[in-house]
Amino acid sequence: MIPVYNHELMEAAAESKPHSHVLTRTGRVVILLAMIGVPVYYGAAWRNILPAMICLFAGLAMRLWSNATLHKSREVTQVGPYSLVRHPMYVGTLLVAAGVVLLWNIPLYWQGAIFGLLVAVHVGRALREERVLVVKHGDTYANYRRRVPLLLPVLSLWRALRGGTMRAGFSWERLKLNGEVRRLGLALFAILLFGAWQVHRYGVQFLRGAQSIAVMGMLGAGCVFFLYASWKVSRVE
């Protein structure tokens, strides 16, 4: 999926590098097309379909939760998923990427190498972002960075549960402003389109079995939630 970056950071980056925004978007589109095109052209590793869909839907849920909490303003968001990790949208994007890579019909070591490269790219980008955020927000962000880990919630999960910060901050209005429901719809449409292409290519035999039933159940639940979320954001004035 295409990640959404911190608004203030993108403004600062645009001031210092006028063409960086265009290049970033182009790179994301190229990566997205490559990640979808490989299983379409070479076939999918259906043995991994269940863990792949779990990663995909967990990543989509994390991105939606993050966008429903993020304040694209001058303040530092520190509740919801931002009380677990400093870059929850990157976590969501990497989970989606893990799901896609699991569907690639390639050796396991190539899957690990490609996913490791994606993790390194996102970690590097997150660290570059934070240099700007520390300058913009000063001690507020510096204290937040000392308290909350970059991408892996270890002790922060217990602290967030105990302090109640993980349950705070969700807003349908912010979800509408940040546009993530539209991206969720596009992701579900892409999954359905990919499934239809595989049925056309291989027939319905790959839909049999407990794994396929679980996957179809997750996809159905995702579609129902998308309709509910679309209805909720449409009521926001």
For residue 91, which amino acid is it?
A: V
- Residue pLDDT, tens place only, 93-132: 999 989 888 888 888 888 899 899 889 989 999 999 899 8
Distance CA 185, CA 190 (A): 9
The candidate with the shortest Cα–Cα distance to 222, out of 6, 31, 53, 10, is 53
- Give the residue, 192 or 89, on which the prediction is more confident: 89
Q: Which H or E run contains 73?
A: none
pTM of the entire predicted model: 0.81
Distance CA 94, CA 2 (A): 11
Q: Could you tell me the residue ranges of all domains in the chain? A: 7-169
The fold adopted by the segment(s) 7-169 is Four Helix Bundle (Hemerythrin (Met), subunit A) (1.20.120)
Alpha helices in the chain (DSSP H): 7-16, 20-42, 49-67, 88-103, 108-137, 139-147, 155-163, 172-178, 180-202, 210-234
CA angle, residues 59, 177, 184, in degrees to nearest 5: 30
- Read off the pLDDT band of 62 (50, 70, 90): very high
Residue count (the chain): 237
